Amino acid sequence: MLQKSAPIGVFDSGYGGLTVLKELKAYLPQYDFVYLGDNARTPYGTRSFGVVYEYTLQAVKKLFEINCHLVILACNTASAKALRSIQQVDLPVIAPQKRVLGVIRPSVEKVIEVTQNGHVGVVGTVGTVASESYPIELAKWGGGKVVSTVQEACPMWVPIVENNEAGTPGADYFIRKNIENILEKDKDMDTLILGCTHYPLLMASIEKFLPGKVSVLSQGAIVAEKLGDYLKRHPEIEKECSKNATVNYYTTESVDVFESRAGYFLGEELKARSIHL
C-alpha cells in the first residue's frame, strides 16, 4: 500500500527560510519536506505581535491541512512572536498530536556548547530584537553559562540581501555600523547568533568586521542538527514523517517571481506552486 506523504513543514515569511531548508535537506535527506513562503505578506520583521501571530497560525494550519505532522518555523520573527502562543494555546485545541518547533531554542542550545566566556550577541530584525525572546531563552536555558546577552536590530540587512546588494560597499557600510554598535554594547562578546534567515548570506562581510575571537552562529546547520536529535528523542513524531526524499515549494506570491529569486537562497533552482492562506 502506498504510504500517504506526511512531509516536515518549513515555514518562513518569504525566501529566507530556504537557507534553513537547504541545510535540513542536506542533513536529513531521507525525509519529505514542504516549504511555505508567505512572500505576499513579507516582511514580518517590522510587523506587530498580533499580525505575525495571525499570519503564522494561518500558515501552520495550512501546513497541517497538507498533512504535515511536524512544522518548523524557520523564520526568527515568527519563532519569536508566534511560536509560544501556537504551542501553548492553539496546538492543544487544533492538533494536540502535532508539533511546531522554532529556531530560537536550537540556537540557544548551540550557544551553550560554543561560548567560552558567556558573553553572547544577537543580531536580528526589529521584531525579533524587541520581543526579547533570545535574552529570555538564553537566561532560561543557558544553564547559568550565559552571563550577558546584547542585541542589535539590523533593519537594513534583509533589504540588502533581497535586493542582491550583498558584498557591495553600500551593504558593508550598514553591516560595519551594526557590528560596531553591538561590540560597543559588549566588547567581550565571544559568540554572535545570526538571528535572521537572511544573514548567512552576509557572512563574508559580517566576519570581516568582527574580531577573530567571535564565533558566528549560522542557524541552518544548527537547526538541522538539533532537528535530527529531536527526531531521535521523539520516535512517536519521527514515525509520522514520511521518507521519500521529496521537497515541494509553495509561495503566497507570484510563482514566477518566487522561482526566479529562490535559487539564490537555496543554492539550487526549484519549481514552486501557488497557495492561499
Residues 192-231, one symbol each (x = binds ligand DGL by CB under 6 A, - = not), give: ----xxx---------------------------------
Total interface residues for ligand DGL by CB under 6 A = 17
Among residues 19, 77, 107, 131, which is the contact residue for ligand DGL, using CB under 6 A?
77
Q: CA–CA distance from 111 to each of 88, 140, 145 (Å)?
A: 25, 13, 9
Among 39-47, 83-91, 110-118, 206-214, the segment contacting ligand DGL (CB under 6 A):
39-47
Is 209 strand, coil or helix?
A: helix
Active site residue 196: yes
DSSP state of 276: -
Residues 274 and 59 sit within 8 Å (Cβ to Cβ): no
Among residues 8, 10, 72, 75, which is the contact residue for ligand DGL, using CB under 6 A?
75
Residues 6+ away with beta carbon under 8 Å from 54 = none
Residues 86-125 contacting ligand DGL, CB under 6 A: 125
Does position 39 interact with ligand DGL (CB under 6 A)? The reply is no
Cis before residue 43, ω within 30 degrees of 0? yes
Rounded to a whole number of angstroms, the minimum distance from the CB of residue 225 to ligand DGL is 19
Nearer of residues 161 and 241 to ligand DGL, judged by Cβ = 161
Among 74-82, 181-189, 227-235, 240-248, the segment contacting ligand DGL (CB under 6 A):
74-82
End-to-end CA distance of the chain: 32
Residues 6+ away with beta carbon under 8 Å from 35 = 10, 11, 12, 17, 18, 21, 247, 248, 249, 250
Among residues 44, 174, 249, 258, which is the contact residue for ligand DGL, using CB under 6 A?
44
Residues 6+ away with beta carbon under 8 Å from 6 = 32, 67, 68, 69, 240, 241, 242
Rounded to a whole number of angstroms, the minimum distance from the CB of residue 159 to ligand DGL is 9
What's the grid cell of residue 213?
Answer: 575571537
Active site residue 75: yes
Q: Rounded to the nearest 10 degrees, what angle do helices 133-141 and 104-114 cross at?
A: 50
Among residues 7, 43, 102, 135, which is the contact residue for ligand DGL, using CB under 6 A?
43
Does position 128 interact with ligand DGL (CB under 6 A)? The reply is yes
- Which of 251, 220, 191, 215 lies closest to 39, judged by CA? 251
Nearer of residues 150 and 201 to ligand DGL, judged by Cβ = 201
Rounded to a whole number of angstroms, the minimum distance from the CB of residue 189 to ligand DGL is 21
69 half-sphere exposure, CB direction, 13 A CA radius? 18
Residues 5-24 contacting ligand DGL, CB under 6 A: 12-14, 16
Exactly one of 68, 75, 154, 241 is catalytic; name it.
75
- Footprint on this chain of ligand DGL (rule: CB under 6 A): 12-14, 16, 42-45, 75-77, 125, 128, 158, 196-198
Active-site residue list: 75, 196
